[in-house]
Amino acid sequence: MEHTQSLRSRLFADRPFYAMVLAIAVPIMLQSAVTNFVNLLDNIMIGRLGTLEMSGVSIANQLLFIYNISIFGCVNAAGIFSAQYCGKKDHDGVRNCLRLKTVVGMAAALIASVIFLTKHDALISLYLNEDLNSAADIAYTLKGSSEYLLIMLAGLAPFALSQCVSSTMREDGETLSPMKASFLAVGINFIFNYILIFGKFGFPRLGIHGAAIATVLSRFAELAYLCFIANAMKAEKPYFQSVFKGFRIPASLIGKVAKKGTPLIINEILWSLGIAGINQAYSTRGLDAVAACNIYSTVNNLFMIVCIGMGSSIGILVGQQLGAGKSETAVQYDRWLIVFAIILSTLTGILMIFSAPLFPLLYNTDDSVRSTAASLLRIAGLMMPVSAICNACYFTLRCGGKTVITFLSDSVFTCLVSWSLAALLASRTSLDVVWLVLLVSSADLIKAVFGLFLVGKGVWINNLVAHD
């Protein structure tokens, strides 16, 4: 009996703990849910234009995905220290982390803009299979995708700046303001998508160009709101004071972030490249496969909010305990959070499996595309607990500064195992896209087992700001 109670206390916390977790996780989940739900609606609106339009936008977004993930890597590199500075109540440390995020984020936006401006056609063409589709369809998709991508470049810088500010707020446990900013952005995006895509209220019908313009407008709106809130929080959050006055970043911080954060940044970039490469392998099965994968990816992102929210909670709560020098508490928190994440993701996966046939019906596309998308969604639902474990282990290792390990287990694994497997199956077999996705997704089982082993060994238990 005592053994059972001991095991239960090791795996499950009391109600106040879960209330604390949900107070952090729910706003993050809601922010992600609203964002991804509106993205789903936007995707459906674009899908109403036709399969080729949907495929063109999907390909452009694959390229933008690499940029977005790279930005997350840049802000999270400094965020490792920012979260622990918050736990230590070191406002100067948090402010300097915010400055460093801003510099690196703007540099990333500039580099991405140059690449997309000069190489957009070549990059998009990687996803177009001339053997399975007509020359006219290929040319139409390429033109639309290129034009969409070029308009979206105007939103790269505001997106980076928004992530710098919102991530800093979340690292201090302030999740409501980023959530509200996200709600504002997705609301503006949705409204202007409807107006500009279909030409409502006297506006011209702009199709996919309208979708790009709406997204850019939402990026600027989100940034404006976050800057307004940060300015209003200066008394409560002193690190927002004088951010750009006497702009200086200590060389010691740059060195520490470079040491711990560079593997993280490289990890995110390589991981996003790996995901883009995997999707390119899937695209060899034709534009119908691209469309089905687009539906699957968009809906899957909506259901992934549990993994995202729980991963962020681990980074915040466990990171703060490490920064406060409470290693034993950090270990217990982490164990409870991982178990909680597995339970929630299992329930989410079951819901996803049963609802899989419904979402593709919302798209104006062929029945074969709908059927393929439904099958892909069932696979994603089945793999949801595995995704939760991988995500939880990643955030655990990262908040303790073990970025080299996360680099090896995340991006290196994705590129060397998942991407290689996808490329091999796509080029050497005639398997359809459903089998490709199933086999490639199953490789994450290896990553999950490896992650749990490392977390259990306690290699991540490090206070990175003890001597600051």
Q: What is the pLDDT of residues 7-17, one digit of tens each?
A: 666 777 678 88
**Rounded mean pLDDT, 387-403:** 85
Cβ count within 10 A of residue 309 = 25
Please, how many CA atoms are within 13 Å of residue 263, restricted to the half-sphere of its CB? 17
374-386 pLDDT, tens digit each: 999 999 999 999 9
**Rounded mean pLDDT, 166-179:** 84
Q: What is the pLDDT of residue 203?
A: 92
pTM of the predicted model as reported, rounded to 2 decimal places: 0.76
What is the distance between the terminal CA atoms of the chain, rounded to a whole angstrom?
A: 46
Q: What is the pLDDT of residue 9?
A: 67
Q: What is the pLDDT of residue 319?
A: 80
Q: What is the pLDDT of residue 131?
A: 66
Q: Residues of the chain with pLDDT > 90: what percent?
A: 32
Q: Residues of the chain with pLDDT > 70: what percent?
A: 95
- Listed residue (390, 253, 340) closest to 13, CA to CA: 340
Q: What is the pLDDT of residue 240?
A: 77
The dihedral built from the CA positions of residue 152, 157, 162 and 167, taken in this order, carries a sign that is positive
302-334 pLDDT, tens digit each: 898 888 888 888 888 888 788 777 778 888 888
- With beta carbons less than 8 A apart as the criterion, state whether 198 and 45 touch: yes
Q: What is the pLDDT of residue 449?
A: 92
113-138 pLDDT, tens digit each: 999 999 989 999 888 877 666 788 88
Q: What is the pLDDT of residue 228?
A: 92
The dihedral built from the CA positions of residue 239, 244, 248 and 249, taken in this order, carries a sign that is positive
What is the spatial distance between Cα 138 and Cα 128, in angstroms, rounded to a whole number? 7
- Whether the predicted pLDDT of 5 surpasses 60: no
- Whether the predicted pLDDT of 433 surpasses 80: yes
- Whether the predicted pLDDT of 3 surpasses 60: no
**Rounded mean pLDDT, 136-162:** 92
- Whether the predicted pLDDT of 18 surpasses 60: yes
Q: What is the pLDDT of residue 467?
A: 58
82-112 pLDDT, tens digit each: 877 777 777 777 788 888 888 889 999 999 9
Q: What is the pLDDT of residue 428?
A: 92
| Domain range summary for the chain, segments of one domain joined by + | 20-457
User: What is the rounded average pLDDT for all residues in the chain?
Assistant: 86
Q: Which residues contact 301 (CB under 8 A, 6 or more apart)?
A: 36, 39
**Rounded mean pLDDT, 67-71:** 88
174-184 pLDDT, tens digit each: 878 888 898 89
- Whether the predicted pLDDT of 413 surpasses 70: yes
Confidence band, pLDDT 50/70/90 cuts, at residue 387: very high
What tokens were used for 321? 């305990």
Q: What is the pLDDT of residue 132?
A: 64
257-288 pLDDT, tens digit each: 888 778 778 878 888 889 889 988 998 888 88
